[in-house]
Amino acid sequence: MQNNIKQKNKSLTSPFPLIVWMLTGCIGLIGSNSLALGPIAPTIAASFGSEVQQVMLASAAFGLGTALGALALGQVIDRVGPRRTLAYVMLIMALGFFGCGIANGAMVLVASQFLVGLSAGVALPAIYTLAAVVALPGHEGRTIGVVLTGWTISMVAGVPLSTLIADGFGWRMFYFTIAVAALAAGAGMLLNGRKQEERAGSAAGSPITALAIKGVLPLLAACACFMAAFYGVYAYVGNHLHINLGYPVRANGLAAVFYGLGFGSAVFLDRHMDAHSGRRILLPVLFLAVALVFVLMALLSGSYIGMLVVMAIWGLANHFGLNVLIMRLTALEPTQRGAIMGLNSAVTYLALFAGTIAMGKVYAAEGFISLALCGAVLSLLACAFALFAVRAKTVQRASA
């Protein structure tokens, strides 16, 4: 009896074990790599004697590798277990970062970033799966929320740090630094979290079998619309502020910081997500809220201050939407979490690719207001798919 009381009190005072903070660091590391290339690309191109466009092919290689890794290797997480899988792929990722650091030309950098992307494609679903595994009962939303703040760390701290390292010690030192960090993360993951070790599923499924799970398809469709809206609009916010509103390029960084702060501050409200996590209507409502944020963005698109405010609100809303989406997906079938989250990561990066291209055409032809309104339409579609997932779950319960 006393032991139960002690465990309960411990869960109330310390809801996040050490491994949760390690997962947050892994997200921050992956995010820093994906976001840092753009700012340091001119320096890299100059050292190679090549064009910036050739260097930026590495970013496309990273995205493609991530999608392929998540789709082809996501089921490994269920067989090996998310902790061990994450440890191994972080070590492989370190090799990719080291390859970037010693690259003597753009193609070597592209190949190294493709390897990093393949690793990230397995690491991201493993991180989200492990967060769901180690979360204490009643703290699922807050646990995933803490892990998601890794994206804020990469945006607010990782990118500025990368430019400082590149300016002070050369761009290669940035990749050597994150290579060491990835090695430490992999080793730390091997040595920690054994108490929360999950049972490797011998009957783990593949992405194809995971698609057959009730509710997976509509939630993945919602994810595709949600992410296409985000990446499609976010990619052109900086251009809008610079070209249409006439602000210097450095003003774009402040917009990114406001988005990151909004996204990160949402972690303090995630306990409310836990309190209402049982309500299936929560995810559609959150996607509807994101749609309203895009409408507000269209209305305030002519004001820099207004855009900064909207960026913070957008970050807040996106955090909640992503948090609950991950909670819903990981709860569908615990024995196939890895395969499901692999599909989620693949859809996310394919949406990045398709959303950026398609929305770019809208922006070029119709301007930023139309772009923001397209984001609202995509968010409403995400809301509709999430509602369909709720209906499918209700029908399944009724038939049972």
Quote the radius of gyration of the chain (alpha carbons, Å). 21
- H/E stretch holding 36 reads helix 18-48
Taking each helix axis as running N to C, give the angle between helix 106-134 and helix 337-366, from 0 to 180 degrees, rounded to the nearest 10.
Answer: 130
Q: How far is the C-alpha of 141 from the C-alpha of 15, rounded, in Å? A: 11
Along the chain (400 residues), what's the average pLDDT of each consecutive run of 10 residues?
43 65 93 82 88 82 89 83 92 97 94 95 91 79 84 80 84 94 93 56 62 90 95 86 82 82 80 59 94 98 95 94 90 84 88 85 92 97 93 52
Domain boundaries, the chain: 2-203, 208-399
Question: By CB neighbour count within 10 A (0-12 exposed, 13-18 middle, 19+ buried), where does 332 fall?
Answer: middle
pLDDT at 4: 45
> What is the residue-wise DSSP string for 234-288?
HHHHHHIIIIIS---THHHHHHHHHHHHHHHHGGGGHHHHHHTTT-TTHHHHHHH
Residue 74 sits at φ, ψ, to 5 deg, of: -60, -35
Q: How far is the C-alpha of 134 from the C-alpha of 225, rounded, in Å? A: 29
2-203 and 208-399 share one fold: yes
- Contact between residue 341 and residue 73 where contact means Cβ atoms under 8 Å apart: no
**The domain at 2-203 falls in which architecture?**
Up-down Bundle (1.20)
Buried b (16+ CB within 10 A) or exposed e, 202-231: eebbebeebeebebbbbbbbbbbbbbbbbb
pLDDT at 81: 87
**The domain at 208-399 falls in which architecture?**
Up-down Bundle (1.20)
Buried b (16+ CB within 10 A) or exposed e, 255-280: bbbbbbbbbbebbeebeebbeebeeb
- H/E stretch holding 13 reads helix 2-13
